[in-house]
């Protein structure tokens, strides 16, 4: 039971962490926007000045057409994420109404806007599923597998788009390919091998028993428990993996459309998709800024500025974020509408019944 003193210390740590992330976010934008760039007439100005000079050249009609199209594509990616969560919950026997999953996802995204990486979304979905079902272990298992599938989805997207968009890497493409493709393939194959044969995790701990005494040992044991629940659900895992790929591919396509919206009509589809895949990965793993702000624009500029221009790369990344935020803001409305009496119509299927259905 927490004391007032410990609660105050926890609040102070949270406040300090949030303030630090705000500071890093502001610093990232400052460094990005004050970076000197060379204009077409040879003058050197700040990136912010170049963007302000570039804005009047954007065609309003093109902007709104492609921004709305980007919104539709981004919604497809979000739908894949919602369905993936629903698929994994059902694998644990938790059958929530689709509308509940939809609104919970938007509430989680809304709360996550103010938190680093996907902390708000993942945390709220876990809290919601555990609260209404009373099955914390099952909800935590679904969350653990979903986090792994999220990373696998990014690597799958990387493996698919690398052969088609690696030209943005120039002369370094071959070297980067030799270094990264085996690693990405190993992560994907290794994750599914663990899911299908979770006992390998315990063999790993037996082979290195000293790991049981550190935090990684606890993580491996939790992952084993989560993986065991899906061991006999290969079709469900395949569907969840396909949806994970869809989440990140549709998100990357969104950035291509926002690049066209801000005037980068010469943008090559697969180059932007590949570059955006790397940017998405950097944004997801970044714990240092709020909602990946600053990191998103910096990585997009590093990957694509020499192909579509610094102004277009920064603006397309920022517009991609706001295209996603438009539906996210509705999560605040759903959050306010859920009062203490709200209860979804939940059906819980026991493990024995699920096993009987699979073998019937």
Domain ranges (residues) in the chain: 80-248+326-354
- For residues 80 and 243, the answer to whether their CB atoms sit within 8 Å is yes
The most confident of the ranges 8-22, 38-52, 273-287 is 273-287
pLDDT score of 126: 92
CB neighbours of residue 34 within 10 Å: 11
More confident of the two residues 230 and 357: 230
Mean per-residue pLDDT for 243-264?
Answer: 91
State the chain's mean pLDDT as an integer: 78
Residues 271-309 have pLDDT tens digits of 889 888 887 777 666 555 445 544 555 666 666 777 777
Residue 102 has φ and ψ, to the nearest 5°, of -60, -50
Residues 125-146 have pLDDT tens digits of 999 999 999 988 889 889 888 9
Q: What percent of the chain has pLDDT over 90?
A: 26
pLDDT score of 31: 62
Report the range of poorest mean pLDDT among 19-28, 93-102, 222-231: 19-28
- From CA 348, how far away is CA 360, in angstroms rounded? 19
- From CA 89, how far away is CA 80, in angstroms rounded? 14
Locus of tokens 């902390």: 119
pLDDT band at 156 (very low <50, low <70, confident <90, very high): very high
Q: How many Å separate Cα 260 from the centre of its chain?
A: 23
Mean per-residue pLDDT for 32-44?
Answer: 60
Output Rg (C-alpha) for the chain, integer angstroms.
Answer: 22
pLDDT score of 128: 94
DSSP structure class, residue 58? S
Of 217, 247, 204, 224, the residue nearest 140 (C-alpha): 224
The most confident of the ranges 15-19, 65-69, 179-183, 219-223 is 65-69
pLDDT score of 215: 54
DSSP structure class, residue 113? T
pLDDT band at 110 (very low <50, low <70, confident <90, very high): confident
H helical segments located in the chain? 4-33, 47-54, 60-91, 98-112, 119-133, 136-165, 173-196, 199-207, 215-229, 234-261, 269-285, 295-308, 310-328, 330-337, 351-359
Of 19, 88, 72, 28, the residue nearest 327 (C-alpha): 72
């Amino acid at each position: 039971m927490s004391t007032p003193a410990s609660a105050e210390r926890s609040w102070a740590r949270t406040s300090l962490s949030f303030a630090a992330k705000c500071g890093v976010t502001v610093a990232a934008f400052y460094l990005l926007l004050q970076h000197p760039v060379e204009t077409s007439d040879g003058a050197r100005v700040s990136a912010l000045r170049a963007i302000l000079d570039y804005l009047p050249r954007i065609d309003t009609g093109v902007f709104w057409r492609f921004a709305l199209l980007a919104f539709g594509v981004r919604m497809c990616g979000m739908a894949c994420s919602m369905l993936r969560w629903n698929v994994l919950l059902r694998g644990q026997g938790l059958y929530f109404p689709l509308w509940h999953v939809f609104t919970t996802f938007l509430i989680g995204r809304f709360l996550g806007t103010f938190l680093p990486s996907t902390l708000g979304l993942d945390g709220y979905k876990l809290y919601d599923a555990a609260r209404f079902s009373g099955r914390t272990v099952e909800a935590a298992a679904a969350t653990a597998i979903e986090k792994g599938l999220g990373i696998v989805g990014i690597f799958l997207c990387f493996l698919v788009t690398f052969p088609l968009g690696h030209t943005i890497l120039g002369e370094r493409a071959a070297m980067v390919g030799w270094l990264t493709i085996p690693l990405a393939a190993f992560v994907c194959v290794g994750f599914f091998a663990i899911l299908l044969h979770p006992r390998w995790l315990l063999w790993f701990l037996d082979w290195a028993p000293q790991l049981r005494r550190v935090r990684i040992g606890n993580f491996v044991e939790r992952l084993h428990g989560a993986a065991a629940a899906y061991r006999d659900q290969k079709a469900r895992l395949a569907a969840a993996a396909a949806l994970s790929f869809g989440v990140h591919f549709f998100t990357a396509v969104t950035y291509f459309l926002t690049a066209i919206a801000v005037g980068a009509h010469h943008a090559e589809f697969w180059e932007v998709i590949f570059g955006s895949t790397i940017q998405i990965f950097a944004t997801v793993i970044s714990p240092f800024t709020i909602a990946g702000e600053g990191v998103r624009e910096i990585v997009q500029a590093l990957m694509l500025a020499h192909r579509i221009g610094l102004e277009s790369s920064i603006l397309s990344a920022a517009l991609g974020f706001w295209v996603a935020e438009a539906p996210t803001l509705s999560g605040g409305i759903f959050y306010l509408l859920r009062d203490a009496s709200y209860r979804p119509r939940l059906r819980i299927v026991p493990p024995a019944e699920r096993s009987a259905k699979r073998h019937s």
